[in-house]
Amino acid sequence: MGRAFRRVTRAAAALAIACVGTFAAAPAAPAAQSAVTAGACSVDTAARGIATAPSGSPVSVPRADGRVDQFQVFYDSTATQGLPFVWHRAQAAPGGSYGAWERVSAGTVGPKASFVTAVENAAGGLEVFWLDHGGFCHSVQGPAGGPWSAPEDFGLRPSPYHGFLVLFKRSNGTLIAMASSGKPDRSMESRTQLSSDGVWRPADSLGKVPDELVGLSQPDTVTELADHRLKVTAREWNRDRYWQITEVAPNDGLPSGWWPAQWQLCATRECA
């Protein structure tokens, strides 16, 4: 699982560099109010949902039944803000062809980077996350498909250029979402969703880098150890230096405090 995660993380990092260098539709609104906010997520209700040009590569999500779903950011020639949207398509059967692209919502992506990631939850539904003005928005589709939930602010917000959101599924089905943090008491934070109830817990601290002048990027690797603790490594956002932190005990959504107070400096990306 750790090796596969590293391949996904390298792809996300490449997308991040490229972006820095360079879903059911929402109800109609009067033209004068086409750019509005839904739960702190920006939406463009005047855009008609026309996939004009892709941004980045599709993100594939393997399903438990063998099918694969894909998410892609597309620009829309009718958008009033010039920002793209997240679209989704799915295989009807394992190994089969994909259905048509459908917009997840009127939630806009960007503006400085087009980022999207997604995962299948323990109940068999889909959860998709995208970047919105520096923070992350979130929408959910139930196991039977159908409409997506309205965009909601997911709460994690890295400092500018400090990476994106990383999702990891523990062996017991628990999901954990991680992103770097600019808060003074933490260098990274996470939210956990138990497989038993599908509820995302409030954000927890993942410890603090002892150097006040250091900021971390998104997790570079996440590995579940034999005793089910998680080990996380991360690169400093602006230089080739790596840090690691390992859970004191497996945290499956219980109160915070399962991570050490500080990250440790290490010599390589793997922090061997």
pLDDT at 1 over 70: no
**CA atoms of 239 and 197, how far apart (whole Å):** 40
The per-residue pLDDT for 190 is: 94
Q: Which tens digits make up the pLDDT trace of 213-254?
A: 999 999 999 999 999 999 999 999 999 999 999 999 886 555
Return d(Cα 88, Cα 84) in angstroms, integer. Answer: 13
The CA distances from residue 120 to 106, 244, 270, in Å, are: 22, 27, 27
For residue 16, how many C-alpha atoms fall within 13 Å in the half-sphere facing its CB?
A: 21
With cut-offs at 50, 70 and 90, classify the pLDDT of residue 257: low
Whether 106 shows a pLDDT value over 80: the answer reads: yes
Cβ-based neighbours of 13, under 8 Å, separated by 6 or more: 163, 218, 220
Interval 135-158 mean pLDDT: 96
pLDDT band at 11 (very low <50, low <70, confident <90, very high): very low
pLDDT tens digits for 130-139?
Answer: 999 999 999 9
Q: With a cut of 90, say whether residue 47 has pLDDT above it.
A: yes
Q: Which residues, 6+ apart, have CB-to-CB distance to 271 below 8 Å?
A: 231, 233, 242, 243, 244, 264
**C-beta neighbour count of 14 within 10 angstroms:** 12
Query: What's the CA gap between 183 and 24, in Å, rounded?
Result: 35
Measured in residues, the chain has a length of 272
Average pLDDT over residues 101-119: 97
Per-domain residue ranges of the chain: 1-24+34-155, 157-272
**Integer Cα distance of 93 and 244 in angstroms:** 40
Mean pLDDT on 41-70 = 97
* Residue 185: half-sphere exposure toward Cβ, Cα within 13 Å: 3
Question: In this structure, what DSSP letter does residue 110 have?
Answer: B
Contact 128, 88 (CB under 8 A): yes
pLDDT of 24 above 60: no
Q: What is the pLDDT of residues 153-195, one digit of tens each?
A: 999 999 999 999 999 999 999 999 999 999 999 999 999 999 8
Greatest Cα pair distance, the chain, in angstroms, is 57
- When mean pLDDT is compared across 3-7, 124-128, 247-251, the lowest value belongs to 3-7
Report how far residue 9's alpha carbon sits from residue 167's, in angstroms, rounded to the nearest whole number. 10
Tell me the percentage of the chain whose pLDDT exceeds 90. Answer: 75
Intra-chain end-to-end CA distance of the chain, in Å = 17
